[in-house]
């Protein structure tokens, strides 16, 4: 789910290339890139080890979720450690628009390790505060405007880390006909499943449906109830409540949120899938968070979202 993290070399690349570089002995060597190769190798090794540690820890959660379907996980927040935060940071889009804090990916990377230690400490002390999402609108095909919430960088980073932990549980619980916003699944897989169903069974109706303004109207109360079927870690539930209640910043004013979860927030697709899993179960359906010619449930996705999140 995460892309290979990369970081710029610490020194400037020499502007003059080596002449006849293909010869065994170069006749005119250019200025060397002091230490760049060694640092890059060290960074790559460190991140590989970091990824292995995180993967092993989450695999244990995944195995427990697979074998104990009724268990409530009471100790999850400790998995949100600096290793996972670092991986989550490098998985963010480098050129995404900044949120209400105005902080870009490049700004945060400047003092990354210090920033991650500070964020980790605030999360585990309970002093972390979610910022309101910055409101932006993109046009829909029918002429209406779709509201998007652009989260602050630390909110996006922390949400991605929490999603990694929760996916270890919910990917073992979600049903096979659910395709929207799930790792390794897409609308193409949903269409394949639909085609198989049509070919193997007698089908009288194909329903193309969409929940109107789903992300804007989802009930916080019911969403938390559904989460608590599996999540017994009160600290993690409080963290999710902070994101739900953070509100949006629009034209300089903060609008408090009583319902809904920002469309465009990193954690919103998983929250939508949890809500649908418990709140709208069904059979012989293809659940997909998008408007395509298939039996669908969920809020419509839009290509325009990609430029904001």
For residue range 271-305, list pLDDT tens digits in order: 999 998 888 654 445 555 443 333 333 333 333 33
Is 137 within 8 Å of 211 (Cβ atoms)? Answer: no
Does residue 209 or residue 39 have the better pLDDT? 209
pLDDT surpassing 50 at residue 133 = yes
Cα separation, 31 vs 11, whole angstroms: 12
Is 6 within 8 Å of 109 (Cβ atoms)? Answer: no
Cα separation, 216 vs 16, whole angstroms: 55
Please tell me the least confidently modeled range out of 35-44, 198-207, 236-245. Answer: 35-44
HEC-encoded secondary structure of 259-305: ECCCCCCCCHHHHHHHHHHHHCCCCCCCECCCCCCCCCCCCCCCHHH
Is 50 within 8 Å of 91 (Cβ atoms)? Answer: no
Please tell me the least confidently modeled range out of 106-110, 202-206, 303-307. Answer: 303-307
Does residue 179 or residue 88 have the better pLDDT? 88
239 to 55, 280, 281: CA distances (angstroms): 22, 25, 26
234 to 75, 130, 241: CA distances (angstroms): 9, 17, 10
**Model pTM?**
0.74
Supply the pLDDT for residue 69: 94
Eight-state DSSP code of residue 68: -
């Amino acid at each position: 789910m995460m892309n290979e993290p990369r970081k710029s070399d610490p020194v400037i690349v020499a502007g003059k290339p080596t002449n006849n570089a293909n010869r065994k002995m170069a006749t005119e060597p250019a200025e060397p890139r002091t230490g760049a190769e060694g640092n890059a190798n060290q960074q790559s090794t460190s991140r590989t080890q970091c990824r292995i540690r995180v993967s092993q820890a989450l695999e244990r959660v995944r195995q427990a979720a697979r074998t104990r379907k009724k268990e409530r996980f009471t100790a999850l927040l400790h998995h949100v450690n600096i290793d996972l935060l670092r991986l989550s940071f490098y998985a963010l889009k480098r050129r995404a628009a900044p949120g209400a804090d105005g902080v870009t990916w490049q700004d945060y990377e400047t003092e990354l390790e210090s920033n991650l230690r500070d964020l980790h400490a605030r999360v585990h002390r309970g002093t972390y505060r979610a910022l309101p999402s910055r409101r932006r609108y993109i046009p829909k095909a029918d002429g209406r405007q779709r509201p998007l919430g652009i989260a602050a960088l630390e909110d996006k980073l922390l949400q991605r880390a929490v999603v990694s932990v929760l996916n270890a549980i919910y990917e073992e619980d979600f049903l096979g006909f659910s395709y929207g916003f799930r790792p390794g699944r897409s609308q193409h897989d949903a269409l394949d499943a639909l085609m198989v169903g049509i070919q193997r069974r007698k089908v009288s109706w194909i329903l193309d449906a969409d929940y109107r303004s789903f992300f804007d109207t989802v009930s916080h109360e019911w969403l938390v109830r559904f989460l608590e079927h599996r999540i017994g870690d009160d600290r993690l539930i409080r963290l999710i409540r902070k994101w739900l209640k953070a509100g949006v910043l629009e034209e300089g004013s903060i609008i408090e949120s009583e319902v809904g979860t920002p469309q465009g927030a990193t954690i919103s697709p998983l929250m939508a899938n949890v809500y649908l899993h418990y709140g709208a179960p069904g059979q012989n359906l293809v659940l997909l968070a998008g408007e395509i010619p298939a039996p669908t449930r969920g809020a419509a996705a839009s290509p325009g979202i990609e430029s904001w999140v």
